[in-house]
Structures are given as C-alpha cells and as structure tokens.
Structure 1
Amino acid sequence: MSGISRRSLLRAAGVGAVAWGAAACTGAPDAQPTTSPATTVPSTTPPTTVPTTRPAPVPPDWDALRARLDGALSLPADRGFTAAHRLYSPDFDSRTPAAVARVATAEHVRACVDTARDSRLPIAARSGGHSYAGYSAPDNGLVVDLRGMAAVRVAPDGTATVQAGARLIEVHRALAAAGRCLPAGTCPSVGIAGLTLGGGIGVLTRKYGLTCDRLTAVRVVTADGALRTAAPDSEPDLFWALRGGGGGNFGIATEFTFRTEPALRVTTFATAFPAGAAPEVFAAWQEWLPGSPAELWSTVSLSAGRRAHLSGCFIGTPAGLNPLLDAVIARTGTKPTSRQVVERSYLDAMLFYAGCTECSPDSVRRQTFTASSRVLSTPVADPTALAALLDRTSELDLLFDSLGGAVAEVAPADSAFPHRTALATVQVFQSGHNPGAMTAVRDGLAALGVKDGYVNYIDPTMPDWAGAYYGANLPRLATVAARYDPDSVFAFPQAIRA
C-alpha cells in the first residue's frame, strides 16, 4: 500500500516514530515509465510475433504533435516546462525530457505513441509521478501526462470506470460518494494506473484482493498506436499481463474498469512497543498472521532502536477487532506503550491513512527517499538478526505489509502478480538520499531468506530484478511483450523484453 510518512502520521496520532501503510507517498510507478533501451530478459518461450524491421527514425515533428493535442505540448523553452515534468521526489528534478504532452483523450495518447515510435524517442506516461526510479521523466524522451484524464464513473451495479490519470484520493472520494470501495493504496497522489498495473496493495487487500484482482477490463494504447480493450474475452494474454506485470510494459493504459464493493465501516488500529522489542513483536506477528481473518489487514514497522509498531485496518467494529489484537499482543510478551482503536467510515479511514481531511492530489509534500523491497515468503528463522539490520542507521525502516486472504485465492499463474502465497511484502525505506544503507539492508534481508521484490517499489539496483519481480511468470510476460511491442517502443532499463 502507499501512504504519507509513517513518522509524521504516528507523531500526529501520538503513537510514536513510525507510521502506517507506507514510508512515503511512494511505491507505484506510473502507467508507463520509460527511459532508455531495455535490459534483455531471457525467455524460454518463443515470441508469438516476429520482431518487425522498423523504418529509419524521423525527427519528432513537435508542431504536428501539438496540433493533434490541441496545443497541449510543453517544450524545454516553454514557460512552466520544469514544473510540468517534476516528479514526487526532488532527486529527479534534473531530468531533461524532450517534451511533456498533457493529454485529455485516448486519441491524444495515440498521437504521442505514434510520435515516439516513429522518432524512436523514449516515452513515459505519468500520473502520480511516484516511480522509485524516476522512470516517468525520461531524459530526452516524451512524457505523457495523464492527469487531465481523471474521471471516475460508478454505475448502478457498482462497476467503476476510472481514467488512468486519476489519483487515489480522487478515486476514493468518488467511490465513497456512490457508497462503494476498492482495495487500493492510500497515498492521495499515487496514480491508479501504476498501482493497478503492478498489483496494488492496500488496507482492504486481505478481504478484497489486490487492486488488479478487481479489474474487468483495461483500455490500452499499444506500440502500433492501436487502442485495445484487454479483458478476459478480448486480448486475454494482454489482460493477464496487465494484472501485475508492472507499469511501463506493453502499452499506455488509458482507462480501467473495476468491480467494487459496498463501502462498509472499518476500524483502524495502531500499537507502539518499547525500544528493544522488535524481535519479539515481529516473531509473534509472523506466526499469528496466517491464522488471522481476511477482514484484518496488518502491517509491522521496524525501525532503529529495535522499535516496532503494529497497525492496520479491520472490516468490522472495535468489539470484533480487540480480541484479535489482544491475541497477537499476548504472543509478543511485551506491553505496548500506546494503543489506538478507532471506528471510521471507509472514506474517513482513507483520509486518516492519507494524513489529511481535505487533501488533494497536489497537496502532498514532496520527499527525497531511497527505497527498495523484498517479499516475506516464509517466516524468518532469526527475528533478532532481522531487527539488527537496522542498527546501522536511524533513518531506515522496514515495513511489512500483510498478504494472504483473498490474495492467496488466486493462483500465481492466473495473473502476472507472482507473490500469491507470500506472507507479506517488505518496503525498505530510507529517508533522504542514502543508497548505501538501503542496499545493505536489502541484501541483508536476502541473506536471511527474505528475497524477491515487489515491482511497484521498483529498484534500479535490484539484483536479478526480473526474476525477483516476476518469478515463474517471466517467460509468459516476455512472450506478451514480444507480441505487443516487438520493436521495444516501450523500452526502459527494467522493461520486460523477449
């Protein structure tokens, strides 16, 4: 899931130093991160389409593209260009795209893809701009800014149609107004497209599945400029790949159709434990988690001083939650220093996790960070060694977000998201720019058996990134990429390629 700074939120709640569902409003790359030629991913499956011979590239005709976009194109000499390509992290402010297209229709997106393909320009779609690697602002490339396509429509039967530029607070507000909800992240400014395409973890995940599990159709512009509908009975291989195959691959999504659920009341909770208790808290949580009900989503945050926080969300009342919370606390053998349990409406819970009451996608403070991920597939044998990884830095947190429940009801091969049987995903989050500390902890986790990774927390230095993010689904993903993008129009350093 995603959310504001864990430190900020729990300080505001009077709980402690580390907060809820994400270290920052980070995590989901945008709908199409692209920078430079892709790293080759070996595949044992032959592609279904033989790569074509592309004509010689032509210089981009910006005037022609501007005309197709009704004038909504910014070039480096234009006023406001710097702000137009700015991402969530200031680390990427020095990027220098060739142009930013502010699209309002799928036809605009097609015009951008045609220009990038014919000119062999890198192309990247951005909505939230939260890519860990900054892939949505490619040097010398075309940025397709989807934020003008943010409509959310809810049908009487609860089906929601969401344009790809919508950000999460816009989605949650629109759904709540219709009495509906969707399992998704909570950071107000994260884009629905990147979140969904990589999987989508949130506080309702264990009950209702990943965000991508709620998809019934995706409208997507592929490398040939065609606008396709991917669904179970239309382009089924592409539909399979778009459910967990990661933003940036296969095309630019323009619209999603989701199955939603009634917006029920939920109970949020947060407990903080004394310094030194992290090994006991983590050990108790990882043993208790598999038997907890699907209505209960929980996250454990570990930080310097071997501190631990247990927080989460329960679909039900405090009376239903408190015995469950008592049980896991008893397992720790440690008395919490604080405990909060509050019943809220669905929308109020999303606003609480977002850290605001009247927040908008553009009100979120930008933040410099260094981050990666791992996946907790089986319990850690030595929780003390796990907690000790954080002794070297006071600014790094490990954030374990629970899976299981509805996530595990889908077979790993039935969608591109491979981590169906895992206990949790792990965010490795370092405030500021300190890649050395982050890398040491990430690799230390692997040494303890916490391996693989979650593509929505994409890390450009992740060892064996393709295997870590996609596992056994990689060969089929490579086949889909070869079919729909044989000339690597959507190429970037961590793109899926045949």
Structure 2
Amino acid sequence: MAIDRRTLLRASGIGATLAALSALDTGCAMSRPGAEPPGGQVDWGALRGRLAGTLNLPSDSGYATAKLAYNPVFDVRTPAAIAQCADVSDIQACVTAAAQARMPIAARGGGHSYAGYSTPDHGLVVDTGAMKTVEVRSDGTAVIGAGARLIDVYSGLAQAGRALPGGSCPTVGITGLTLGGGLGVLAGKYGLTCDSLVSAQVVTADGVLRTADAQSEPDLYWALRGGGGGNFGIVGSLTFRTVPAPQLAVFQLRFPAGSLTAVLGAWQSFTASAPDEFWSTLCASAGSPPTCKINGCYVGTESDMNALVDKLVAATNTRPDDRYSLTKDYLPAMQYFGGCANYSVEQCHPSWNGGGVLDRESFTASSRVLTRPLSDPSRFTALLTGRSGMDVLLDSLAGAPSRIGAADTAFPYRGALATAQIYVGATTAQARTAVDEVRDGLGELTGNTAFVNYIDPGLKDWANAYYAGNAARLRGIARHYDPNGVFSFDQCAAKV
C-alpha cells in the first residue's frame, strides 16, 4: 500500500509518502522562455559530428519526445536542439558550441524544474539522462552520473548495501536535487543530500572540466551545495559519502477535519525536539474546514517509532481517524515512499522516455521556509479555509541539517523548522493565483523565505528568499566562473 508524493498532495487515497522531491533540475536558459534567441546559430552538423550521443533537431523524429519535461505545461517550449549526451566530452562540446554562438543552453537531468528552466525556447538542452551509472567504491563513497534519477541511485546503492539521504519521487534527477540542497526522508539522521557531497565534476562556461571539492575549486564546491541548479556549469558526475542501508519504520496519522490548528501547533513543538532518527511531514489540505495528516519515517525499530508517535498524538490532544505503521528495508521503503512499491525497479522510471510506467503530471507550486515555529497556527489554517484542490506540505528540517553553519554551504536555512511546499495539481490561471495568494499570505508569517528546489518564477525578491545571507557570495562565484553569462536565466545566481 503506497501513494506517490503528488497523490498525497491531492489528498486522495491512503498510504504513506514523503514529499522531499527536489523540483529544480539543473537547467537554465540564457534568455526568458519565449524570447527570441539572443545570439547566432550553432553549427549543428559540426556539433553532431563531435558527439558520442544523439543530437535531436526539430526536423528529427526523436525531437518531440526528447524535448519533454515532467510538467506538460512546458510542452509548448521549442528548444533549438536536444543533445542526449553520452559522456562528459559531449557536455564540453555542447557548452563550447553554445558559448561561441551565444546560444541559450540548459542542462537537464530529471526534467522536473518547476519553472521549466531546463527547457529553454530557442536553446540547446544538454540532456544527461544517459549518464546514470552508480559506482560504489570500497571506501563507501559512490560516484553517480549526472543523469541518474533517484530510483537509479537507490537501487544501485542498495545492491551494495548502502544508502544516501534524498527525495522521494523516483523520476527526479540526483543532480538537481543535490544542487538545491535536497531534502528527504533520511534528512534528520543523515542531513541534506548536499551534505553528503564529496566532490563534483563540472563543465564550466569556458568548456573546462573541473573537479570541485574541499581542496580543489573550494568556492565552486561551496556553491554547488545548495546554490541551485544551472548557475555555475553542467555537472558530469557527483561523488557522495554513503551510509549502511538502514531498515526504516514508517507511519501515517490521519486527523479529523477541523483539527489542523491543534495538530500543527503540536507538530511544530514535537518536531523541534524530536530525535534525529525521527523525520516527519505534515500535509495540510485546503477545505471547509481544512484537513491534515502526518507521515513519518524512523531509522530504527517500529516499536521505538510508535512510542514517539504516541507522544506526538498526545501532544495534539486529538484522536486520529486512522493510524498505521510498518517496517521495510531501504530499497522497498524508497519505492514505497515514491508510490511504486507494487512495481519493479525497472518500472519505476518515466513512461515518456525511460521505459517505465510513471507518468508526467501538471502542477503549480511554490514554497516558504519556516525558520521558527509559527506563533499563531490558526493563521495558517485561515489561509487554507474555503479553498479546494490545494495542499501545503511541511517537511521537517530539524536534526542533522541544523548542525551545519548557515554559511558553511550555500544552503542558508540551517536551524529552520521546516520547508513549506504549496501545491495545486493544475496549471490554470486560477491555480497560479491561488498558489500566489497562499505563498504571499504564508510569507507574512514566515518572512521572505523560499526553497530553491521548489523554484518559483513569480516570487518577489527571490534572491534573498532563496539564499538569505549567502546571496552575495553566490553572485560573486557565478560571475567568476561565468563572466559572459553563458549560464543565465531569469533567476540565476549571477543576477542575485
């Protein structure tokens, strides 16, 4: 029994999920989507001859499928070409060609960019999807190709008895997840995904392949851990520290309508002091009145988890309508959280270009970050009262992520309570208006904060919202590695 993240966000069905999807792909565009190309044209014939992979032009039979991103709203975009890269040399050839022609260029791993920045009009999409190897070394580090999706990562690591903290959606790319920070079900115990990053191979705007780690290119290494995708170059591979694959206990609590204020108040207090092994997410669904549920994960035994859940329930002073728990090994648990527990690993891939059964989905979303508990949870409830079709997901940031300094990586919200993702499963004008209204209303409670993995092109003062005190340093690093704006888009770090 499992539902995927977006099923939970629509508040239908039963099951458990964790919504730590990283939504920002590694994509960017030199110009605003829909704008005319700012420069010349690439010699496509010459580029095709340099690639070990495949170059898809609009006249090619594979173009229509190759250009597809996760959200169908971006199907109207018309990239100049999509390069399906086979190796790092292909990435270098693409960057060099686009830079010389002043052609917009965007990297794509999983294709989940909330703003569609990985599908630029008139630009070159550098698709790394074929670069998806997962190599676990004898010292426990893992070298992972830039195009690996989370299901590739989890299954590859599980074969070696290892694990990495990451998101839940199986089709999200590991690179975009990491570059924005990466919040997932193991975050409380093991930190954000970017906290496990040892080094990265990156092709910068000059076409040079660089290794960024604590000793080599340390500023770039700092920026890659939370500075967002598409800002500093195109990643070829990532090397992570991994941990022994744990057994996980999971639970779900479904509360009666009208109890959101009480449940949120208790959840905030409990989360702030919960042990690292315990991670949870509160899903609030709009309505008259709103409803809510809490899903969670515990690195340890089911009995120990249930003792903590008992304390959480007692703090709410509300009897849940439904409660259950179960225990799973690491890979089955990741499939469970991703909504594909009843499928094989091979089936937990995209249906549109990966040979799997998981479909695309239309949605509109935004975010805030709760740097501290909301002083008046009833104001949060009021934002969702009288609406429909909307969910706000509060994902805990407590535990290991809080014990890293705010300036030690580019991810600035160390010590925050939770991220808040605002989600509507539609792309209509009404959906956009509703998300904007709740985003702005929640901003009155949280301040100007946001999570770059859930990038929002309509967010005002976005640089400070995403990066807070790290914005100026990120701007300097972006301009150092990309002085000519090869990697530039509406919300790129050079414009911070």
| TM-score normalized by the length of structure 1 | 0.92
Match of 1:360 in 2: 348
* Residue 315 of structure 2: aligned partner: 331
1:232-276 CA deviation, whole Å, 9 max, x = no partner?
000000000000000010100110000000001110110100000
Supply the distance in 2 between the matched residues of 1:392 and 1:450 (Cα, whole angstroms).
Answer: 24
Amino acid at match of 2:484: D
Q: Can you give the 5+ residue segments of structure 1 that lack an aligned partner in the other structure?
A: 39-55
Post-superposition CA distance 1:260-306 (Å, at most 9, x none):
00001110110100000111100000011111000001100111232
Alignment CA distance shift 1:71-1:246 (3 Å): closer
Higher relative contact order (CA 8 A, sep 6+): 1
Verify the 8 A CA contact 1:30 1:136 in the aligned structure 2: yes
Q: Which residue of 1 aligns with 2:354?
A: none
Alignment of 1:244-393 (within 5 A): 244-304=226-286, 305-357=289-341, 358=344, 359-362=347-350, 363-393=357-387
Question: Secondary structure of the equivalent of 2:214?
Answer: coil
Residues in 2 aligned to 1:118 and 1:250: alpha-carbon distance in whole angstroms: 17
In structure 1, distance between residues paired with 2:297 and 2:89: 40
CA distance in 2, matches of 1:223, 1:138: 17
* SS across alignment from 1:448: helix
In structure 1, what is the Cα distance between the partners aligned to 2:308 and 2:319? 15
In structure 1, the residue matched to 2:433 is: 436
Q: Is residue 404 of structure 2 the alignment partner of residue 410 of structure 1?
A: yes
Shift of residue 21 of structure 1? 2.1
1:458 aligns with 2:459: no
Residue 202 of structure 1 is aligned with which of 181, 184, 199?
A: 184
Please tell me whether the aligned partners of residues 264 and 345 of structure 1 are also in contact (alpha carbons under 8 angstroms). yes
Give, in angstroms, the shift of residue 28 of structure 1: 2.4
The Cα shift of 1:226 comes to 0.1
Letter in 2 for 1:492: F
Corresponding position of 1:46: none
Map of 1:44 onto structure 2: none
Match of 1:479, as an amino acid? G
Picking from 444, 447, 450, the partner of 1:447 is 444
Match of 1:276, SS state, is coil
Per the TM alignment, residue 35 of structure 1 is displaced from its structure 2 partner at its CA by 4.6
TM superposition shift of 1:422: 0.4
Task: Indicate conservation of the 8 Å contact 2:10/2:389, yes or no.
Answer: no
- Looking at structure 1, the residues matched to 120 and 185 of structure 2 have their Cα atoms a distance apart, in angstroms, of 32
Q: Quote the offset at 1:89 in angstroms.
A: 0.6
3-state SS of paired residue (1:248):
coil
> 1:9–1:355: 8 Å Cα contact kept in structure 2?
no
Question: Aligned residue for 2:353?
Answer: none
Distance 1:199 1:451 in 2: 18
Q: Distance in 2 between matches of 1:312 and 1:255?
A: 31
Q: Report deviation, 1:31.
A: 1.9
Following superposition, the deviation at residue 197 of structure 1 comes to 0.4
Unaligned runs of 5+ in 2: 351-356
RMSD between aligned residues: 1.8
**What is the deviation of 1:426?**
0.6
Report if aligned partners of 1:99, 1:141 keep a CA contact under 8 Å in 2: yes
Cα distance in 2 for residues equivalent to 1:125 and 1:364: 22
- The superposition leaves residues 170-208 of structure 1 with CA deviations (integer Å, 9 ceiling, x where unpaired) of 000010110000000111100000000000000000110
Shift in alpha-carbon separation, 1:278–1:57, aligned structure 2, 3 A: closer
One of 26, 31, 37 as aligned partner of 1:36: 31
Corresponding letter in the other structure for 2:27: Q
Partner Cα separation in structure 2 for residue 495 and residue 385 of structure 1: 33
Q: Is the 8 A contact 2:10 2:425 kept in 1?
A: no
Q: Is 1:487 the equivalent of 2:484?
A: yes
Post-superposition Cα deviations, 1:99-134, rounded to whole Å, max 9, x if no partner, equal 000101100000000011001111111111100001
Which residue among 80, 97, 102 is the counterpart of 2:84? 102
Tell me what 2:193 maps to.
Answer: 211
- Tell me how far apart the structure 2 counterparts of residues 258 and 282 of structure 1 sit (CA, whole Å): 35
Return the alpha-carbon distance in structure 1 between the equivalents of residues 84 and 461 of structure 2: 35
Query: 1:71 and 1:149 mapped to 2: Cα distance?
Result: 10
- In structure 1, how many angstroms separate the alpha carbons of the residues matched to 2:102 and 2:415? 40
Q: What per-residue deviation string (whole Å, max 9, x for no partner) do you get for residues 133-190 of structure 1?
A: 0111100000001001000000122110000000000000010110000000111100
Residue of structure 1 aligned with 2:469, choices 468, 472, 489: 472
| CA–CA distance in structure 1, aligned partners of residues 306 and 53 of structure 2 | 57
2:98 aligns with 116
**Mapping of residues 49-198 of structure 1, within 5 Å:** 58-70=40-52, 72-198=54-180
Which of 213, 225, 230 is residue 207 of structure 2 equivalent to? 225
Q: Hey, what's the Cα distance between the residues in 1 that align with 2:32 and 2:206?
A: 18
Matched to 1:306, the amino acid is P
- Residue type of the alignment partner of 1:84: A
Q: What residue identity is the alignment partner of 2:472?
A: P
- Which TM-score applies when normalising by structure 2? 0.93
**C-alpha contact 1:181 1:261 (8 A) present in aligned 2:** yes
Distance across 2 between alignment mates of 1:248 and 1:259 = 23
Structure 1 Cα separation of the partners of residues 30 and 260 of structure 2:
40
Q: How does 1:6-17 map to 2 (within 5 A)?
A: 6-7=7-8, 11-12=12-13, 14=14
Alpha-carbon separation, structure 2, partners of 1:327 and 1:368: 38
Residue 230 of structure 1: how far off its partner (Å): 0.1
Q: Once the 2 structures are TM-superposed, how far is the Cα of residue 59 of structure 1 from its aligned partner? A: 2.7
Using the alignment, how far apart are the partners of 1:146 and 1:453 within structure 2? 27
Task: Give per-residue Cα distances to partners, 1:30-79, cap 9 Å, x unaligned.
Answer: 223225169xxxxxxxxxxxxxxxxx965310000000114610101111
Aligned partners of 1:346, 1:6: CA distance in 2, in Å? 22
Residues 322-352 of structure 1 deviation map (CA, whole Å, 9 limit, x = unaligned):
1111111111111000111101101111010
Tell me the distance in 1 between the aligned counterparts of 2:187 and 2:412.
15
- Aligned partners of 2:295 and 2:53: how far apart in 1? 48
